[in-house]
Amino acid sequence: MLKKMNPIISCFSKTVLALSVFTFTSCGPDSSEDSSTASQDTTAAVVNDTASPTQDFFYSLPSPLLMAKVFRKTGLKYMEGVANSPDNVSKYTSIHSKTLNLGVYSADLAYTVLNKQNQQASRYMGSIKRLSDELGMSSLFDSDDYLNRFKNNLNNEDSLITVVCELKSEMDVFMKDNEKEKQTLLIFIGAWIENMFIATQLTKEANKEKVATRIAEQKYILNNLMNVSSNYQNDEEFKGLFLKLNELKSLFDNLTVRGEDEKIMMDERQLKAITEKTRDLRKEIVG
């Protein structure tokens, strides 16, 4: 048990984290965040040679499945009712809310698949298809019959993960080909907030120090996220979300970074504040 106000120390430096998070885009059944340094450097070099800083971010976004894997390795267990209910899909009527919750449901899908909650995962896949259809992306599911493939492989975790990864890749290509950077950003925000929400809500059920370490490391993801989001801060639909994200960022900014390895220090009070702000922001998104 952590004592009140005791520091929780991240074991990763800023440099290592930047490589480990932003270049792990593969999500096959055997992939993990422990990819080789050589592979990381190669990926980073390719991105930097071919893209602007803004494009770098979009090209290197970690998948919702990978984000869920990172938190699962801390010992987080499945808890019924933490994820957004797939029944809420009918509540999302604007393009903005549909796009954000497409990201939320992508994170929930990963959470249920990795925890072998396959019937619930099938419902999330249905919600994702519905939102994709309503957002003009029905061709993604039709191209390789993803929904039926998913339902036909509910008892095969590796096959389910493969379907999820292939669908994510198809969506990435669709977004890039159609120059939908804002929509890509919203989907990622929805997925990131949902994964953060699940992790912060389950800290009492897992190794709190390990979970807190992973949460603290999100400081660098959020910094990059806010840099890109600033391009849309005056967008009427986006500005409210930008302000809320900035409030969360201010809490991460208060975390102390020490030493040559730039280790992140976080105490119980700071974890509580981040948990509450994440909960409030997630409530704004899912309703």
User: For residue 16, what are the CA distances in angstroms to 37, 216, 266?
Assistant: 9, 14, 19
- Nearest alpha carbon to residue 160 among 33, 88, 65: 65
Location of structure tokens 């509450």: 276
C-alpha–C-alpha distance, residues 135 and 190, integer Å: 15
Q: Where are the alpha helices (DSSP H) in the chain?
A: 14-22, 37-50, 53-59, 64-72, 95-114, 118-134, 138-144, 146-151, 157-177, 181-201, 208-229, 239-253, 268-286
Read out DSSP for 73-98? TTT----TTSSPPGGGGGG--SHHHH
Specify the pairing of strand 263-266 against strand 256-258: antiparallel
Q: How confident is the prediction along the chain (287 residues), in pLDDT tens digits per residue?
A: 343 444 443 333 343 333 333 333 345 444 433 332 222 332 333 333 445 555 566 656 677 888 788 887 877 788 899 999 999 999 999 999 999 999 999 999 999 999 999 999 999 999 999 999 999 988 887 776 888 888 888 888 888 888 888 888 888 888 888 888 899 999 999 999 999 999 999 877 656 788 888 899 899 899 989 999 998 999 999 999 999 999 999 999 999 888 777 788 888 899 999 999 999 999 999 99
Location of structure tokens 């400081």: 219
Give the pLDDT score at 13: 38
- Nearest alpha carbon to residue 147 among 121, 185, 108: 121
Q: How many residues does the chain have?
A: 287
Query: Collapsing DSSP states into helix, strand and coil, what is residue 6?
Result: coil
The angle that helices 95-114 and 181-201 make with each other, rounded to 10 degrees, is 50
C-alpha–C-alpha distance, residues 136 and 42, integer Å: 34
Q: Is 56 exposed, middle or buried (0-12, 13-18, 19+ CB in 10 A)?
A: middle
- Beginning with the edge strand found earlier in the chain, give each strand of the sheet holding 256-258 in spatial order: 8-9, 263-266, 256-258
C-alpha–C-alpha distance, residues 279 and 285, integer Å: 10
Task: Flag whether the pTM goes above 0.85.
Answer: no
Query: Are 69 and 114 contacting, i.e. CB atoms less than 8 angstroms apart?
Result: yes
Q: Tokens for 164?
A: 């999820």
Q: Tokens for 97?
A: 């809310």
Give the pLDDT score at 64: 80
Q: Tokens for 53?
A: 């800083």
C-alpha–C-alpha distance, residues 33 and 25, integer Å: 9
Give the pLDDT score at 243: 95
